[in-house]
Structure 1
């Protein structure tokens, strides 16, 4: 069975190593060192990771992450590459694949695309399909609840997913699964998606979810 999370973990580690500790990322305010510290915290300190999603706990998460960021960069990369420790929830059978395939893909692109105008790297067909299978749940949670317009996300082969408020103006976004995933996580300005919709609808969407440059 393919392990897409493991492949993306190795790709992300290599990109972080090549970039060095002080390179920019698409994560606002984070360097590659900060991103590496975040990745290690998620797996090694589940007791402190809740603040990633819960604002009331964010201060503690930030303190623990800053502690990791103060460690040697090479140590952070070694910890991340070695995978989750046995006490981590991500060490449960199937958990890494289910939870981290998309997470690591997005963060690999955060490093790669922050370096400049980089064309998307072709993904193995199996990995692209894995991203497409995960898109419905992610899109509804990350983009559907925020979008002021109806969104039709379309795969190059014609498959599509519709999310967002019924009856609202519609915007069509077409591209590879990885590009659609990045859009749902707010990285749309750095994608190669094709967009189509009324100018007012596109402008309304752009206020909450970035789109590729006009």
Structure 2
């Protein structure tokens, strides 16, 4: 089972366990809202542009309402079954959804008191490290200062380097910690266990 598939199963099980009205770290979203988002993303590509482009927001809301009219359990179980049989997403699940499923799994886990960071196998750490390297540059590109990303057990890399300061100089922000925690941090989550040195007030996250 791929990391994306194992996170799908774990997140789906948690969504069913908590029911439709539990909070998440996504502002304004309950667990049912999360389930609607996950299912829409994989089964209604016509509505996905509305997540990014204002001109398509009305259609996104309409499709979201349509999916949301179903029961929470039906939505979650349909999503847990995976993308439609002939959808390209089905064949690219491991590549497209590793980060998505991990982030949203933690959005649900960490909205409850007493959460702790999870420990991952070396194989899963490697998957998360790959997602971090791919996404980090895009997510940190708006930072006012160069950012050095320093994940535990993986090579450091420059998240953004607008001024050419690489691993030296005083005007640098360094983010260190476990790979998964840094990935969540780059996606703007605050419930994380990372260390940030430098002028963190000048760190800016981009939306993707």
Given the two structures, how large is their TM-score scaled by the length of structure 1?
A: 0.87
Matching residue within 153, 160, 170 for 2:149? 153
Show the 5 A alignment for 1:41-52.
41-52=40-51
**8 Å contact kept, 1:46–1:88:** no
**8 Å contact kept, 1:152–1:162:** yes
1:203 maps to 2:201 = yes
Deviation string, structure 1 residues 60-113 (Cα, Å, up to 9, x no partner):
11221122122101101110110011242312x3x1111001100000000001
Partner of 2:124: 127
Show the 5 A alignment for 1:97-136.
97-136=94-133
Distance in 2 separating the partners of 1:117 and 1:70: 32
Flag structure 1 segments of 5+ consecutive residues without an equivalent: 210-214
Structure 1 residues 202 and 157: CA distance shift in structure 2, 3 A: same
Distance in 2 separating the partners of 1:55 and 1:132: 32
Distance in 1 separating the partners of 2:34 and 2:142: 25
Distance in 1 separating the partners of 2:49 and 2:82: 19
Q: Secondary structure at the match of 2:110?
A: helix
Partner of 1:57: 56
Q: Secondary structure at the match of 1:153?
A: strand
Q: Which has the higher helix share?
A: 1
Distance in 2 separating the partners of 1:43 and 1:176: 29
Q: CA RMSD in A?
A: 1.6
Query: How many equivalent residue pairs?
Result: 199
Q: Secondary structure at the match of 1:134?
A: helix
Show the 5 A alignment for 1:75-114.
75-91=74-90, 93=91, 95-114=92-111
Distance in 2 separating the partners of 1:152 and 1:67: 43
Deviation for aligned residue 1:167 = 4.5
1:186 maps to 2:180 = no
Q: Secondary structure at the match of 1:157?
A: coil
Distance in 1 separating the partners of 2:153 and 2:84: 39
Distance in 2 separating the partners of 1:202 and 1:50: 32
Given the two structures, how large is their TM-score scaled by the length of structure 2?
A: 0.89
